[in-house]
A and B are shown apart, each in its own frame.
Chain A
Amino acid sequence: MTIKDKAAIVGVGATPYYKRGQSYPESEFSMACSAILSALDDAGLTADDLDGFSIYSNSCDPAAIAAELGVPEVRWATTLTSGGGGCAGALGVAAAAVDAGMATTVVTLMTLQQLSKRLGGSAVGGMLAYALMSESSSPYGGGGIPPSAAFTANNGLLSPGHSFAQIASRHMHLYGTKREHFAEVCISQRENAIKRPTALRTEALTLDDYFNARMISDPLCLFDYTMESDGAVAVITVAADRAKDLRQPPVYIMGSAHGGSGRWGPALFRYFQTPDDEFTSSGHRPVARRVYEMAGITPSDVDVALLYDHFSPMVIMQLEDYGFCPIGEGGPFVADGNIRYKTGTIPVNTHGGNLSEAYIIGMTHVREAVEQLRGTAVNQVEGAEIALVTGGPASLPVSASILRK
């Protein structure tokens, strides 16, 4: 027994996407409320129907939102642990909640305003926070600097990019992956973003531009990094039998999985305990196996892939880990044009992704998957019936969902 086809996404809502810090005087809270109301309205529902929150990365406080929106009763409030890796998996938790009858109308959302903070940590405080990340996630802990932190604090690996660069370097070393391959990820996604009114980066990007860009943390240059942005995106999940009667064509959740190999663990900024055969990966292989198994499909059945793209090399590794090409061949696979919209064998990030549309920690990918399967996407993949959407790669859990029309 699984949750296959037991639930559907019936509503999507979003605020405008803003460049980092420019959503002020909106707040993360006000944008969360806006996105939720808009997603409910899209489904033909109201806050009177809302009774569940299935979030990730503690994107909001359901208590505050329920009070603000006058939600009559909350019956489900969960978050996946860790960060953006849980994005796609939170849809599966929502599906499980409605399938089990523990809630009827569940929202999954992210809201983000980077007015004074940067996930990359531009201030000394941010650097220390990353350098000294605790092994405890308990808010009741004593805090302070854990003894394990002293082993990494002075090593200069401070931002997520510094960490992902390690994985990218080793992929290049083992498989001959080249910066041209990373460039193709960036350029193909920019091409997709150029046509979209929601995209924050719409100027053309050439190979010359790519190679003339500043190196940030070798082998990553400026264009290999996600942008940082503000905004909120919410989706509403209900049971499949109820979905049919709502305003929009349902987008069914065929499969969902989150987690990862135990020794992938926190992965980033830690000692990279990860065994050799997993180090140079997106950390998604166990999740990929399970999500395909639940959905009962193979990679060749997927019409469009929305792959979490905080750093361009991780798109290449997800293409490998999700079986679109053999392990180690992701570079040549993208170089051959396989991920291009219209002409590729598996169009990837048709919305432009985190690299070129906006970075709302994975929810823009979910929104695009739903639009593709409704047939309303700006860069519509003709006849799209099945979409793969992923969260992470990052600290465990990473996640994926397979959606169908």
Chain B
Amino acid sequence: MSTFGTLTRGQFPSILTETHASPMTQPFWDAAKEDRLVAPKCASCGTFRLPPSPYCFVCRQRDVEWVELPGTGAIYSFTVVRHPLHPDLADACPYVSGVVELDGTQGAGARMLVNIIGCDPDTVKIGDRVAITWEHVNDEMSTPRFRPIPA
């Protein structure tokens, strides 16, 4: 067995197993445990920001409301990681990781950088529709991944 446990090709292992959440990020991780994607939306101007952060980068206000998102989106960019950075990651390669723009948000500023699983590394392309899928790492943490929405 590798340093990283049993590996699945195309899936980067969860090397972080605790969220290290703060009060500002806790709602995201609480919802994650229930397979829901929520994001903070600026109470003043409506701009989403992910990861959650203290200030809105548009209006510099702090108050947010947590909004549930559909958890779907489109691949904005991606890479196919073919060379394992650690020998014990060989069985996970190739895997696809990229930038996803989320439906229901303004895009930039609320993008997610994620491992996109269950896709063909040789045909995946920018613009492909994807949906979130949560990996329950343990009782405390669920980590987001995306997978293609069949056309």
Contact = CB atoms under 8 A, between A and B. Distances in A.
Interface of A: 120-124, 126-128, 131-132, 144-159, 162, 165-167, 169-170, 173, 214-220, 263, 269-276, 279
Interface in B68-104: 76-83, 85-86, 92, 95, 97-99
B48 to A, nearest CB: 11
B61 interface: no
A216 to B, nearest CB: 4
B16 A145 contact: yes
7 contacts: A147-B51, A148-B25, A150-B20, A169-B77, A218-B121, A263-B57, A273-B108
Contacts of A154: 12-16, 115, 135, 137, 143
Which of B109, B113, B137 lies at the interface centre, i.e. has the most chain A CB atoms within 10 A of its CB? B113
Contacts of B19: 147, 150
Contacts, number: 145
A148 B53 contact: yes
Q: How large is the interface on B (under 10, 10 to 19, 20 to 34, 35 or more residues)?
A: 35 or more
Nearest to A152: B113
Contact of A162 (B50, B76, B97, B127): B97
Contacts of A128: 15
Nearest to A145: B20
Contacts of A162: 79, 81, 97
B16 A150 contact: yes
B86 A275 contact: no
A158 B115 CA distance: 12
B50 A271 contact: yes
Given A271-B50, A274-B108, A157 B113 contact: yes
A148 to B, nearest CB: 4
Contacts of A165: 79
A151 B51 contact: yes
B42 interface: no
A145 B25 CA distance: 13
A151 B28 CA distance: 10
B113 A272 contact: yes
B149 interface: no
A131 B21 contact: no
Given A150-B141, A154-B13, 9 more contacts: A150-B18, A154-B137, A162-B79, A165-B79, A173-B126, A214-B82, A263-B109, A273-B57, A276-B107
B24 interface: yes
Nearest to B24: A147
A122 B83 CA distance: 11
Contacts of B109: 263, 271, 273
B85 A121 contact: yes
Interface string B111-151: 11111000001000111000000010100010100000000
A166 B77 contact: yes
A270 B114 CA distance: 11
B6 interface: no
Nearest to B93: A156
Given A147-B19, A155-B113, A166-B99, A276 B82 contact: no
B57 to A, nearest CB: 7
Contacts of B83: 214-217
